[in-house]
Amino acid sequence: MARDSRTLPKVLIVSIPKAGTNLLMQAILGIPGMIQIRTNIFQTKYSNTDELIKNGEMSVVHLPYEATLERIIKKNNIKVIFISRDLRDVAVSMVHFIVDKFNEHLLYPIFMNHLQDHDQRILAIINGIDLIRDIPDSVTINKGFVKSGVFSYPDIYQYNKSILRWLTCPLICRVKFEDLAGDPSLRYETILKIVDFLWEDLQKSGLNKQFFIKTMNENINPIKSPTFRKANIGDWKAQFNEEHKKAFKTVAGKTLIKLGYEKDSDW
Each residue of 170-213: pLDDT tens digit?
Answer: 999 999 999 998 889 999 999 999 999 999 877 666 678 899 99
Per-residue pLDDT at 120 exceeds 50: yes
Note the pLDDT of residue 4: 61
Over residues 254-262, mean pLDDT: 95
Instruction: Give me the numbers of helices (H) and strands (E) for the chain, helices first please.
Output: 13, 7
Q: What is the DSSP letter of 81?
A: E
Whose CA is closest to 175, among 156, 147, 194, 149?
194
- DSSP H or E stretch at residue 72: helix 67-75
Note the pLDDT of residue 33: 93
Note the pLDDT of residue 201: 75
Distance, CA of 138 to CA of 21 (rounded, Å): 32
What phi, psi does 27 have (nearest 5°)? -60, -45
CATH topology of domain 5-86+161-224: Rossmann fold (3.40.50)
Q: Which residues of 9-32 are buried (b: 16+ CB within 10 A; e: fewer)?
A: bbbbbbbbebbbbbbbbbbbbbbe
Over residues 119-124, mean pLDDT: 96
| Residues paired with residue 129 on neighbouring β-strands, in sequence order | 153
Note the pLDDT of residue 235: 92
Residue-level length of the chain: 267
Note the pLDDT of residue 182: 83
% of the chain residues with pLDDT over 90: 60
Note the pLDDT of residue 126: 98
Per-residue pLDDT at 228 exceeds 90: no
Per-residue pLDDT at 89 exceeds 70: yes
CB 123 within 8 A of CB 153: no
pTM value > 0.85: yes
Instruction: Give the angle subtended at the CA of 242 by the CAs of 240 and 244, to the nearest 5°.
Output: 50
Note the pLDDT of residue 229: 53
Domain parsing of the chain, residue ranges = 5-86+161-224, 87-158+230-258
